[in-house]
């Protein structure tokens, strides 16, 4: 059998697997500048391949492929009335610069100016096309009659239980989160919850587990590590609640039973890593609980030369000790640029890696469970960062993770990284633990981004974790 015939048979086999299957094709540029086509599928009989445009192929599950034949195969398969999508490379433009690409991109309520941060690298604006398989098409038809069957990525928004603060378009506070977690635990007793530690201003760092704690695979998701980016804690709480709702109701997602997926992979959440800083941004100094915390903030304001305290506190990024928690991890910490040499509202990296209770507790949890994947939620820019100079197996798995996120959110993928722009959680998980990890920058505008953006964020991110559950099913 020649290579072209082999690929046609392989694609046909993928599309005929039916239930519990997802598929997509994408073309991206990796850290070394190589343009790579990815044809990805997972399921009971799925195969996948990562193919280099130089003609050399790297089989993930044994599929033989040649990149210059991929598009021809897609077109041939389509001509035979099998639903699929051609791999494409979208050039950067106005929409691409804001990440308004991909299968779930849609008119948005988001407002503001697109980020021009130097972190956006040459992969920003990469396009992706997601294959609509026969199984997905069937589920789309079924969903009209059965509200418990979902094929997210084709128009569905995943379910959320009613009556929670996280459903509101409003500032989401630490107390809102505590209240929501309390009700969730009562309503969904299978949810597990504990406290990792206590912050300087006497708040609990909550840890939530959805799924079987003894599962073969684990995912770790955290949000709210930067004080002014508190909206992503609300997004993270929606993810927790949606998974619990689907688990309890036996929801079918892309042909897969969500309860069964959560037996294979459990998800660990730390929905608000910096509750002290978030409380300060939202409520000011008077919202803090201890004299020590209030004194610390006033001292730091003096270091920074703050004059307009209202504006100054509203853009506070760090924890209550004035440390940027996402520059406090042991990944080129010494090389990371010291933008300020004193505790500050934004850029201080601390006295040593994991000098802060919040970063140490998150690192300790990661080391204890050794997840297969990690997700760090931030605002803003609609960008996905996944790369920190790694090669080999990590590079393929990390890019696959970023592509799954992109296919759901439409956010641009960036391969930008720097040895001096380092010491973040994602950087550490990649460099020290070799865990495929992404930082997802949600929304657009100046942080804190408007609360109205939560609905668009949810639409763009709700299918990421279910798709990762499927992706890990046969690993």
Residue 153 has pLDDT above 90, yes or no: no
Which residues are CB-contacts of 16 (< 8 A; sequence separation ≥ 6)?
A: 134
Question: What confidence category does residue 146 fall into, taking pLDDT thresholds of 50, 70 and 90?
Answer: low
pLDDT tens by residue, 84-138: 332 332 323 333 333 333 445 443 445 543 333 333 333 333 333 333 333 333 3
Three-state secondary structure call for residue 406: helix
pLDDT tens by residue, 287-333: 999 999 999 999 999 999 999 999 999 999 999 999 999 999 999 99
- Cβ atoms 270, 222 nearer than 8 A: yes
pLDDT tens by residue, 219-268: 999 999 999 999 999 999 999 999 999 999 999 999 999 999 999 999 99
> How many of the other CB atoms lie within 10 Å of CB of 91?
8
- Cβ atoms 210, 248 nearer than 8 A: no
Rounded Cα distance between 368 and 456, Å, is 34
Average pLDDT over residues 177-195: 98
pLDDT of residue 269: 99
Helix axes 464-471, 231-249, angle to 10 degrees: 60
- Cβ atoms 253, 202 nearer than 8 A: no
Q: Give one DSSP letter per residue of 70-100, joined into a string.
A: HHHHHHHHHHTT--------PPP-HHHHTT-
pLDDT of residue 155: 57
pLDDT of residue 152: 56
Query: Where do the H-state alpha helices sit in 212-315?
Result: 231-249, 258-264, 275-283, 291-304, 309-314
Q: Given the DSSP bridges, would you call strands 373-379 and 437-442 parallel, antiparallel or unpaired? A: parallel
Q: Which residue has the higher pLDDT, 343 or 67?
A: 343
pLDDT of residue 160: 96
SS3 for 162-220 is CCCHHHCCCCCCHHHHHHHHHHHHHHCCCCEEEEEEECCCCCEEEEEEECCCCCCEEEE
- Cβ atoms 126, 28 nearer than 8 A: yes
Structure tokens at 276: 């002290």
Plot region of 32 (φ>0 → left; ψ -120 to 50 → alpha; else → beta)? alpha
pLDDT of residue 107: 37
Rounded Cα distance between 181 and 237, Å, is 8
Q: Which residue has the higher pLDDT, 343 or 118?
A: 343
Q: What percent of the chain has pLDDT over 70?
A: 68
Rounded Cα distance between 471 and 250, Å, is 19
Which residues are CB-contacts of 93 (< 8 A; sequence separation ≥ 6)?
A: 125
Strand order in the sheet with 265-270: 192-198, 204-210, 265-270, 217-223, 373-379, 437-442, 383-385, 412-414
Average pLDDT over residues 387-412: 93
State the Cα torsion 438-444-446-450 to the nearest 10°. Answer: -110
pLDDT of residue 101: 37
Strand order in the sheet with 49-52: 57-59, 49-52, 35-42, 22-29, 128-131
Rounded Cα distance between 275 and 283, Å, is 12
Residue 352 has pLDDT above 50, yes or no: yes
User: pTM (2 decimals)?
Assistant: 0.76
Residue 191 has pLDDT above 90, yes or no: yes
Reference 467, options 159, 173, 176, 150; nearest CA is: 150
Rounded Cα distance between 346 and 356, Å, is 15
Q: Which residue has the higher pLDDT, 450 or 56?
A: 450
Q: Which residue has the higher pLDDT, 340 or 137?
A: 340
Say if residue 380 is preceded by a cis peptide, omega within 30 of 0.
Answer: yes
Average pLDDT over residues 419-424: 88
**Half-sphere CA count of 110, side-chain side, radius 13 A:** 30
Average pLDDT value for the chain: 77
The rounded Cα 442 to chain-centroid distance in angstroms is 9
Reference 422, options 322, 337, 319; nearest CA is: 337
**Half-sphere CA count of 161, side-chain side, radius 13 A:** 23
């Amino acid at each position: 059998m020649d290579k072209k015939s082999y690929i046609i048979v392989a694609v046909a086999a993928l599309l005929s697997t039916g239930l519990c299957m997802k598929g997509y094709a994408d073309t991206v540029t990796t850290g070394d500048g190589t343009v790579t086509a990815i044809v990805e599928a997972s399921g009971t009989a799925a195969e996948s391949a990562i193919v280099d445009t130089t003609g050399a192929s790297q089989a993930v599950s044994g599929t033989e492929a040649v990149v210059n034949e991929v598009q021809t195969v897609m077109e041939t398969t389509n001509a035979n009335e099998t639903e699929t999508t051609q791999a494409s490379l979208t050039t950067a433009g106005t929409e691409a610069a804001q990440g308004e690409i991909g299968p779930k991109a849609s008119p948005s309520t988001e407002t503001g100016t697109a980020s021009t941060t130097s972190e956006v690298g040459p992969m920003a604006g990469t396009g992706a096309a997601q294959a609509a398989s026969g199984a997905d098409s069937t589920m789309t038809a079924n969903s009209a009659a059965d509200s418990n069957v979902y094929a997210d990525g084709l128009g569905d928004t995943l379910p959320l239980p009613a009556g929670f603060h996280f459903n509101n378009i409003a500032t989401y506070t630490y107390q809102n989160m505590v209240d929501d977690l309390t009700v969730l635990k009562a309503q969904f007793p299978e949810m597990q919850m504990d406290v990792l530690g206590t912050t300087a201003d006497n708040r609990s760092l909550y840890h939530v587990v959805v799924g079987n704690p003894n599962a073969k695979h684990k995912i770790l998701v955290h949000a709210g590590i930067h004080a002014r980016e508190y909206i992503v804690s609300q997004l993270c709480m929606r993810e927790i609640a949606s998974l619990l709702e689907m688990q309890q109701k036996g929801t079918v997602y892309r042909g897969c039973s969500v309860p069964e997926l959560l037996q294979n992979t459990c998800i660990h959440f730390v929905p608000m890593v910096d509750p002290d800083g978030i409380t300060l941004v939202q409520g000011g100094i008077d919202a803090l609980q201890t004299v020590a915390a209030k004194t610390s903030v006033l001292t730091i304001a003096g270091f920074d030369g703050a004059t307009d305290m209202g504006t100054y506190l509203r853009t506070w990024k760090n924890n209550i000790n004035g440390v940027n928690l996402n520059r406090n991890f042991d990944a080129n910490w010494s090389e990371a640029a010291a933008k300020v040499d004193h505790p500050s509202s934004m850029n201080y990296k601390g006295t040593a890696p994991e000098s802060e209770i919040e970063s140490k507790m998150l690192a300790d949890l990661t080391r204890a469970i050794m997840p297969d994947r990690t997700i760090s939620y931030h605002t803003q820019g609609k960008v996905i960062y996944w790369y920190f100079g790694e090669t080999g197996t990590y590079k393929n798995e990390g890019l696959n993770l970023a592509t799954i996120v992109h296919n759901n959110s439409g956010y641009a993928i960036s391969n930008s990284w720097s040895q001096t722009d380092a010491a973040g959680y994602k950087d550490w998980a990649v460099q020290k633990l070799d865990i495929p990890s992404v930082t997802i920058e949600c929304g657009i505008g100046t942080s804190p981004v408007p609360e109205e953006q939560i609905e668009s964020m949810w639409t763009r991110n709700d299918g990421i974790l279910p798709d990762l559950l499927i992706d890990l099913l046969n690993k």
